[in-house]
Amino acid sequence: MAAHLIVLLLFSVLKGVHSITTVSKVSVEAGKSISIPCLYESQYIDHVKYLCEGHIWSSCSYAVKTNKPDPSGKYSISDDKKEQIFTVTIKNLTNQNTDYWCVVEINNGPDCGQYFQLSVTSDTPSLYVDHQKITGYIGENITIRCHPSNSGEMKWCRLGRNCVTGSSGSIDGTTVTTHMRDPDVSTVTMTGLRSEDSGWYWCSEGDIQIPVYLNVTEKPIKSEYCKLSKILHVNEFNTFINICTLGL
């Protein structure tokens, strides 16, 4: 066992795993889907990225690449070059979908990869969120509900940045507070959202994480105008209905 770990470590060093940052272990329910973000360094922006399946680096097999979609539809991949993050999505999970590598293809050299593990269960995952992708509005607050299997210490982290532990802290200047509402619900509140808060985060308990993508945008006003138009005089209504139709 020790020899196996040494070999795996050597492969990790040779493949430059520290050039890619991702989760280490995620608990997921069989039959569901999961999206995993992989942060890479700026020198890899124009490189091909891919997902490799298998526990051992030397024998893992291509699942999907940015220049070669998966015809089965089980795997998909997208590359956000501005944020330097590529995201892989795995659908219809089974207990055979457990070991993967986020990889950047290197021309004329060894590829660069980072390993992550999926713990696929037929029961409730040991850590999950209500929604893996959420939307918040600039200047407002947002609360994320993380569901751990026990009341251990929770962390809220931003991919490639810092983590908040305990009841309060900040990430890139945005205030974060956490609260354990009951043994199986921990809330994370981010206050005074800014557009630059958009990105990948994760809840973490012990060695388990669950990624969450936060999209921060301007709050739409169309619905407010439309609601107001309902209480206006008929003549005024025509003006507001035009605003609603135009989406202003």
As a whole-number percent, the residues of the chain with pLDDT over 90 amount to: 68
- pLDDT higher than threshold 90 for residue 234: no
- pLDDT tens track for 192-202: 999 999 999 99
| Mean pLDDT, the chain, integer | 85
- pLDDT higher than threshold 80 for residue 239: no
Q: CB of 191 within 8 A of CB of 141?
A: yes
- Which of residues 164 and 7 earns the better pLDDT score? 164
- pLDDT higher than threshold 70 for residue 12: no
- pLDDT band with cut points at 50, 70 and 90 for residue 152: low
- pLDDT higher than threshold 70 for residue 169: yes
Nearby residues of 192 by Cβ (< 8 Å), 6 or more positions away: 139, 140, 141, 174, 175
Nearby residues of 104 by Cβ (< 8 Å), 6 or more positions away: 19, 20, 40, 44, 47, 48, 49, 111, 112, 113
Q: Is 98 left (phi over 0), alpha (psi -120 to 50) or beta?
A: alpha
- pLDDT band with cut points at 50, 70 and 90 for residue 125: very high
Q: Is 182 left (phi over 0), alpha (psi -120 to 50) or beta?
A: beta
- pLDDT higher than threshold 70 for residue 237: no
Strands 112-121 and 25-29, sheet pairing: parallel
- pLDDT tens track for 52-102: 999 999 899 999 999 999 999 999 999 999 999 999 999 999 999 999 999
Query: Domains in the chain and their CATH numbers?
Result: 2-121 (2.60.40.10), 127-217 (2.60.40.10), 220-248 (no CATH)
Provide the pLDDT for residue 13: 41
Provide the pLDDT for residue 108: 83
Question: Which DSSP string do the residues of 129-177 spell out, in sequence order?
Answer: ES-SEEEEETTS-EEEEEEESSS--EEEEETTS-EEESSEEEETTEEEE
Query: What type of residue is 82?
Result: K
* Weakest mean pLDDT among 90-104, 123-137, 178-192: 178-192
Nearby residues of 37 by Cβ (< 8 Å), 6 or more positions away: 22, 23, 85, 86, 87, 159, 200, 211, 213
Query: What type of residue is 232?
Result: L
Q: CB of 146 within 8 A of CB of 210?
A: yes
